[in-house]
Amino acid sequence: MDEMVKHCIFIECFILKNHTAARWTLIAYIACFPVGFLIYYFTRDINLSGVPHILFWTPLLIYIFATEFNNSQFKLKSFYSVWIILLSLTILVSLVFDVREVYLYIAR
């Protein structure tokens, strides 16, 4: 799943100029790495790697749904709209797995 996100981030570099959601996506993506590294460094448990995803991707997904999908100018025919839909689906699926992993860690 992370490969899909990496491809979306690569494509995002071409659309950063015109779309605020693309900039917020890049910020969330970059912010996940140091937080994830610190969590793993202190706990040594890979199951907690979902915590930074939950912290940063959940607000981003809410932002995308609130701004992009509710925009009257949003059209499914543009490259950007296909990208934002694929990104949102990828984040949503990733969050389902991340929440599950964190829940299983807490339930131990």
Q: What is the largest CA-CA distance in the chain?
A: 47
Which of 7 and 95 is assigned the larger pLDDT?
A: 95
Question: Do residues 35 and 41 make contact, with C-beta atoms less than 8 angstroms apart?
Answer: no
Q: What is the pLDDT of residues 57-95, one digit of tens each?
A: 999 999 999 988 887 777 777 777 888 889 999 999 999
Q: Which domain holds residue 48?
A: 2-107
In 3D space, the residue among 8, 16, 18, 28 whose CA is nearest the CA of residue 84 turns out to be: 8
Task: Say how many domains are in the chain.
Answer: 1
For the entire predicted model, the pTM comes to: 0.78
The tokens for 4 are 């899909």
